[in-house]
């Protein structure tokens, strides 16, 4: 896939911009990245803050083959999480964990957010937008009060790791390019295999912070506790219930929370 980068000093949302570019005829591989977003979008209708020039805010346009089942599109969010993790580990040697399904954590704190959106027509996805925000230069006082305890940035983590060297600063461009390079390699394999997560499953589960931990399943039909076993090949989380039964829960239906702290 040929990547076509478009930079904006200020934009409402890179996800929205990709949808506009698609409507104007842009093709797969178009990437928007921005210095700041004025209306960044988060999951479940939340907003996402991208203060000026301190974070990565970027989105990629995909036009998956029509024979890829729409039910597999949410798995792209898992590929995006893997791409973020790989980039951070390779470029900055910071250890990352994954909170199922797609939160990347450093030292138990969230470093990035991913929002995958699609436009469907006639039973297939015409256009998929994978949007990623990574905290890069934020200081702890830059985070809103309600997420301060749960969020971190690459610079903060680099400083913690290597206080003596005066602090290596992360680069937003390096992170952006690294993410899309890794993502496109994962995506190629994903499409080749008809939307399988098999090739990343082992590495994903090795980083899963929920693995073998007790978790609370926030099921709208009723909350309960169980032990998380790992992500299954279809992207669901395999859990062991207290009565010994094994069940798979889907990220579209339930959220998972650790019993102690965010993860």
Q: Using CB under 6 A as the criterion, which residues of the chain lie in contact with ligand BTN when the complex forms?
A: 13-15, 37, 40-43, 46, 48, 50, 57-59, 113-115, 131-133
* Smallest distance, ligand BTN to C-beta of residue 40, A: 4
Q: What is the largest CA-CA distance in the chain?
A: 58
Given the complex with ligand BTN, which of 50 and 226 has the nearer CB atom?
50
Given the complex with ligand BTN, which of 42 and 51 has the nearer CB atom?
42
Given the complex with ligand BTN, which of 49 and 211 has the nearer CB atom?
49
Given the complex with ligand BTN, which of 15 and 184 has the nearer CB atom?
15
Could you give the CA distance from residue 82 to residue 204 in angstroms, rounded to a whole number? 7
* Smallest distance, ligand BTN to C-beta of residue 232, A: 22
Residue partners of 45: CB distance under 8 A and separation at least 6: none
For ligand BTN, the nearest residue by Cβ is 113
* Smallest distance, ligand BTN to C-beta of residue 55, A: 8
Given the complex with ligand BTN, which of 21 and 229 has the nearer CB atom?
21
Cα 252 to Cα 73, 164, 219, distances in angstroms = 12, 44, 10
* Smallest distance, ligand BTN to C-beta of residue 201, A: 23
Residue with tokens 């896939």: 1
Given the complex with ligand BTN, which of 65 and 261 has the nearer CB atom?
261
* Smallest distance, ligand BTN to C-beta of residue 47, A: 8
* Smallest distance, ligand BTN to C-beta of residue 241, A: 28
Which phi-psi region, left, alpha or beta, contains residue 122 (left: φ > 0; alpha: ψ -120 to 50)? left
* Smallest distance, ligand BTN to C-beta of residue 249, A: 19
* Smallest distance, ligand BTN to C-beta of residue 245, A: 31
């Amino acid at each position: 896939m040929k990547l076509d980068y478009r930079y904006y000093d200020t934009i409402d949302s890179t996800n929205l911009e990709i949808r506009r570019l698609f409507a104007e005829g842009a093709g797969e591989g178009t990437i928007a990245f921005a210095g700041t977003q004025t209306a960044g979008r988060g999951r479940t209708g939340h907003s996402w803050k991208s203060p000026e020039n301190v974070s990565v805010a970027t989105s990629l346009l995909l036009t998956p083959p029509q024979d890829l089942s729409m039910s597999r599109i949410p798995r792209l969010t898992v590929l995006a999480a893997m791409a973020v993790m790989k980039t951070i580990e390779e470029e900055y040697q910071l250890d990352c964990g994954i909170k199922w399904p797609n939160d990347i954590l450093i030292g138990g704190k969230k470093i990035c957010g991913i929002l995958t959106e699609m436009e469907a027509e006639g039973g297939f996805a015409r256009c998929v937008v994978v949007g990623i925000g990574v905290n890069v230069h934020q200081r702890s006082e830059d985070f809103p009060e309600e997420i301060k305890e749960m969020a971190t940035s690459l610079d903060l983590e680099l400083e913690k790791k290597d206080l003596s060297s005066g602090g290596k600063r992360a680069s937003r461009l390096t992170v952006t390019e690294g993410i899309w390079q890794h993502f496109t390699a994962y995506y190629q394999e994903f499409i080749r295999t008809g939307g399988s997560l098999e090739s990343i499953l082992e590495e994903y589960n090795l980083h899963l912070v929920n693995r073998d931990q007790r978790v609370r399943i926030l099921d709208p039909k009723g909350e309960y506790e169980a032990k998380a076993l790992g992500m299954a090949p279809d992207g669901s989380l395999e859990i062991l219930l207290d009565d010994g039964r094994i069940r798979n829960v889907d990220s579209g239906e339930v959220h998972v929370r650790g019993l102690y702290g965010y993860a």
